[in-house]
Amino acid sequence: MMRDLSDLAPEDRLLVEGELGMRYITSVIHRVITLRREGGTLYWETETDHGLREFVVLSSDQNIRWLGERSLLLIDVDGNRLSVPDISELDRASARMLADNLI
């Protein structure tokens, strides 16, 4: 099992990411508009590669997975997968909301 795809050579990483992309449809989060925590539940409003998305994530290790130091995978209450490939590439407000609620 791989802990971090960045351990692979660039050409191997592209191959693995392509295969994973075909097997698991994942929306990529480009911007976090709002992020609100109520108890162990997170309410998200985001801009993704598939348009605006609102979703709910139960806060747990099963639903919020760090895939490296800066990459994040979220699984919402309906089983949809959303990712943040690199938190450092988000705008300042989005990164701050993640830091305030997840780190």
The answer on pLDDT for 26 being more than 70 is yes
Cα(15)–Cα(69) distance, integer angstroms: 21
Predicted confidence (pLDDT) per residue in 45-56, tens digit: 999 998 999 999
Which residues contact residue 21 at a Cβ distance below 8 angstroms, ignoring those fewer than 6 apart? Answer: none
Whose tokens are 């050579």? That residue is 9
SS3 1: coil
Cα(87)–Cα(35) distance, integer angstroms: 15
Structure confidence at residue 5 (pLDDT) = 81
Predicted confidence (pLDDT) per residue in 56-84, tens digit: 999 888 899 998 889 999 999 988 899 99
Q: What value does the CA radius of gyration of the chain take, rounded to a whole number of Å?
A: 14
Q: HSE of 40 in the Cβ direction (CA atoms, 13 Å)? A: 8
Structure confidence at residue 59 (pLDDT) = 82
